Amino acid sequence: MANDSICRFMFENLGIRGEIVRLEDSYQTALDRHPYPPALAQLLGQAMAAITLLGTTIKYAGKLILQVQGSGPVNLLIVEYDSERHIRGLINWQKDVFLGAEIADLFGTGHMAITVNPQDKANRYQGIVELIEPSLAGCLEHYFKQSEQLATCLWLVADANRVAGFMLQQMPGIDADGDDWRRIKLLAETLSDDELLNLDEEELLHRLFHEDDIRLFESETICFHCTCTRERIEQMLLNLGKEEINSIVAEQGSIEVDCEYCNKHYSFDSVDAAQIFTDGNPGFHSETRH
Ligand SMILES: [Zn+2]
């Protein structure tokens, strides 16, 4: 079993598909970048598992972004997953939260947005739901109910070292109240957190569904990778405007930027800063997060 992988499966003849994801290295890499308290580390891990479950069947080149914003101790949770199977994510928070905190304890009132962002930008799509369920998995199930009309069930679990996720989803055109769906869902609900974290895919599926005919696809490897570049940071500085940049340089002698996702450091001295505003630079973009 690879450390970070996702594996798809399908129930032959039932019109139900599923996925199992396990992340260890990419989860630890995200945690190495920021000293998250345990509850927030596990929240980030669960979100990383969730975005891979949601993004793996997407066919186009581009990325999928899950973002939760709120007024509580946690202001922002953002995870991104792209068609190269690269993942990155971060949390901005004000206050620590107890382990096992519910979504309302974490975010107060807020909303969750899922953005489908293809490279060609032509079919960009964003779905937004309010945070009315106690868990991240519940909020995502609510999102599917609202936007996709595909019945979907998710299980997400994290400890200090690893995260795992399990998803079941009806395929389009299947009766949402079907007996098969109900039966498979009931069986899946017997899965313990410990089993989800520790059993390998085949054992796990056998443990739950040994009477069913399941096709298991080859697993795919996932890795943490940040898409920040010096050019993107320059673009962000360009958006801040010449006046703002000049005043920072006058005050501090240079501009120092750390990527929030991967902590890579970018430094611009007065010459670099002036260079950003010379001719030939592309026009203004609305994107501010690099
Ligand atoms: Zn970065």
pLDDT tens for 233-256 read: 999 899 988 899 999 999 999 999
Any idea which fold 230-276 has?
CBS domain Like (3.90.1280)
Residue with tokens 């993004």, as numbered in its chain: 55
Question: Model pTM?
Answer: 0.87
CA 3 / ligand 1 centre spacing (Å): 22
Average pLDDT in the chain: 90
Q: How many CA atoms lie within 13 A of 194 on its CB side?
A: 0
Per-residue confidence band for 212, with pLDDT thresholds at 50, 70 and 90 = very high
CA 138, 139, 141, 146 dihedral sign is: positive
- Distance (angstroms) between ligand 1 centre and the Cα of 219 equals 27
The pair of structure tokens assigned to 99 is: 């382990």
Confidence label for 281 from pLDDT (cuts 50, 70 and 90):
low
Block residue for tokens 């096992």 = 100
Residue-wise pLDDT for 70-117, tens only, equals 999 999 999 999 999 999 999 999 998 999 899 999 999 999 999 998
Work out the average pLDDT over 265-272. Answer: 91
Q: How many whole angstroms from 266 Cα to the centroid of ligand 1?
A: 10
Among 144, 155, 208, CA closest to 49: 155
Query: Is pLDDT at 287 greater than 70 in this prediction?
Result: no
Residue 200's contacts (CB-CB under 8 Å, 6 or more residues apart) are 1
pLDDT of residue 123 exceeding 90? no
CA 89 / ligand 1 centre spacing (Å): 10
Q: For residue 2, is pLDDT > 70?
A: no
User: What is the DSSP secondary-structure string of 144-155?
Assistant: HHHHT---EEEE
Phi, psi angle pair for 110, to nearest 5°: -175, -165
**Alpha carbon of 173 to ligand 1 centroid (Å):** 41
Under CATH, which architecture does the 5-224 domain have?
Answer: 3-Layer(bab) Sandwich (3.55)
How far, in Å, from the CA of 233 to the mean position of ligand 1?
10
- Cβ–Cβ contacts within 10 Å for residue 29, how many? 18
* Alpha-carbon distances of 152 from 17, 50, 58, rounded to whole Å: 10, 12, 16
**Identity (one letter) of the amino acid at 49?**
A
**How do 223-224 and 86-93 pair as beta strands?**
parallel
Predicted pLDDT at 280: 53
Domain residue ranges in the chain: 5-224, 230-276
